[in-house]
Amino acid sequence: MNRENKRKQYENGYYKTHACNDTFLCKVCGRQVFPDGAGSEHRNHCPNCLSSLHVDVEPGDRASDCGGIMDPVAVWVRKNGEWAIIHRCRRCGALSSNRVAADDNPMKLMSIAMKPLSAPPFPIERIEEMTALMGGEGRMK
């Protein structure tokens, strides 16, 4: 394949219309990641540790030159009930939202979802007192 064709193959937007079939080694946990089993066209994060690389500006476009490791920092639920992961780039701080894949590590997903609840920004034993201060009915009768 000559250089011209190769560049054409990976031009912007290529991965929007073509499935990404690369097998890659996860830079964070070292696991070999296969494209099969994702249940979607784009395997953009490791199913084991859920980390990603900052290679996209828009999902799948491979238009970013950053290349930083993106940590999974949060999950959210879309309108249709599907979960998505918020990734944050270690190098530049960019945030992006990515669909979960069918074989993503469910324990890791749950632990990210539970994180704010297990580390509340206030002493959990004072929640009754704080609710009372807000005029709510959080008091034990």
Which chain residues interact with Zn ion by CB under 5 A?
26, 28-29, 31, 46, 48-49, 54, 66, 68, 89, 91-92, 94
Nearer to Zn ion, 12 or 32 (CB): 32
Strand locations in 21-141 (E)? 24-25, 32-33, 52-53, 69-77, 83-89, 95-99
Shortest distance, position 89 Cβ to Zn ion, whole Å: 3
Shortest distance, position 105 Cβ to Zn ion, whole Å: 9
Bridge pairing between strands 69-77 and 52-53: antiparallel
Shortest distance, position 80 Cβ to Zn ion, whole Å: 27
Amino acid at position 63, single letter: A
Nearer to Zn ion, 58 or 129 (CB): 58
Token pair 């005029």 is found at 135
